[in-house]
Amino acid sequence: MQKKVAAVHDISGFGRCALTTALPILSACGIHCCSVPSAVLSAHTAFKGVTFRDLTEDLDAFIRNWASIGVRLDGIYSGYLGSEKQIEQVLLLKELCGKEGCRLIVDPVMGDNGKAYAIVGHEGFITAIRELCAKADVVTPNLTECALLLGMEPNAYTDSVEAAEDYMRRLAARGPSQIVVTGLTKDGQVGAGYYDKNTDEVGFIFHEHIPVYYPGTGDLFTSVLTARLFADQPYSLHDAVESAALFVMECAKYTNAQGSPTIEGVQFEKQLYRLIQE
């Protein structure tokens, strides 16, 4: 049976991020991506003056309809969540539609580059995200989000493999089985670290740094990671992280060569063949 994974994300009409990234990536990898739109935006929030329609009030009925028509999920992948209520709705989705052994992958979108997003100023939200991560199977924070999850100031992290291992072990002690930390740098390269609590395996993947910032690469990374973990022959955590990191790097390199506006995100469309061939 084809794997079914729900992607709980906002959707932007313009700009590559969130659901407009998760849907094609999971689909290209042979996963039935079941979309759960948490909000609709005219464009992602790096653009000015975007429209925003919150769908929180629709999601309970949306999820209960899925339960009534027999949707049964192998996994759930959540990204940006705009309120404590939406965090509760992710757990409701797993309760009503998850198969036995349904895995929850949480990208705890709370900040980046040492700065927290505005929603994080609400302490109840931080507490709810921490509780969601504690119930997850896989959590994929960047360094800023690691700091916030561990009760530190968002810019109080140390960017080193030693610090990253400490953060991952501390986060895993709170519940999740596997931690992947993104946005690490070392010797002019960028990469990610991973920790598997079940095997006590720690590893790091570094690759060429493309010196351009593109919005949405975190969504791209976790979408590929999710697809690899739910493959018909699931990748190991190491191989899934390596596959995701390499794909993001190749997409960034290609996009940089095309000279397209960075605010639009990486051109992953013509690189999808890499995922299919792999």
Count structural domains, the chain.
1
CB–CB of 226/77 below 8 Å? Answer: yes
- What is the domain range of residue 223? 4-277
Look up the pTM and report it: 0.96
Token pair of 230 as six digits: 């739910």
Model confidence at 225: pLDDT above 90: yes
pLDDT of the residue at 223: 98
Relative orientation angle of helices 84-97 and 123-134, to the nearest 10 degrees:
20
Residues for the chain: how many in total? Answer: 278
Amino acid code (one letter) for 198: N
What are the angstrom distances between the C-alpha of 241 and each of 8, 71, 90, 160, 194? 21, 29, 24, 18, 8
Name which of 110-119, 224-233, 253-262, 265-274 the model is least confident about: 110-119
Looking at residue 120, its pLDDT comes to 84
CATH code of the domain containing 268: 3.40.1190.20
Are the CB atoms for 201 and 195 separated by under 8 Å? yes
The DSSP result for 64-105, as a single string, is HHHHHTT--EEEEEE----SHHHHHHHHHHHHHHEEEEEEEE
**Residue 3 pLDDT more than 80?**
yes
Task: Output the pLDDT for position 123.
Answer: 80
Distance separating alpha carbons of residues 228 and 233, to the nearest angstrom: 9
Phi-psi category of residue 125: left, alpha or beta, with phi > 0 → left and psi -120 to 50 → alpha: alpha
The answer, yes or no, to whether residue 277 has pLDDT greater than 90, is no
Answer for the pair 9, 37: CB distance below 8 angstroms, yes or no: yes
Burial 178-195 (b: 16+ CB within 10 A, else e): bbbbbbbeeeeebbbbbb
- Angle between helix 217-229 and helix 237-258 axes, rounded to 10 deg: 140
Range 204-225 average pLDDT: 96
Cα–Cα distances in Å, from 243 out to 12, 45, 106, 191? 26, 28, 18, 12
What percentage of the chain carries pLDDT values higher than 70?
A: 100
Q: Residue 1 — pLDDT band, cuts 50, 70, 90?
A: confident
pLDDT at 118 over 90: no
pLDDT tens-digit readout, 23-66: 999 999 999 999 999 999 999 999 999 999 999 999 999 999 99
- Could you report the per-residue pLDDT of 123-161, keeping only the tens digit for each? 889 999 999 999 999 999 999 999 999 999 999 999 999
Which has more pLDDT, 252 or 121?
252
pLDDT at residue 121 above 80?
A: no
Whether residue 263 is predicted with pLDDT greater than 90 in this model: the reply is: yes
Q: What is the mean pLDDT of the chain?
A: 96
| Token pair of 3 as six digits | 């794997």
pLDDT tens by residue, 74-94: 999 999 998 999 999 999 999
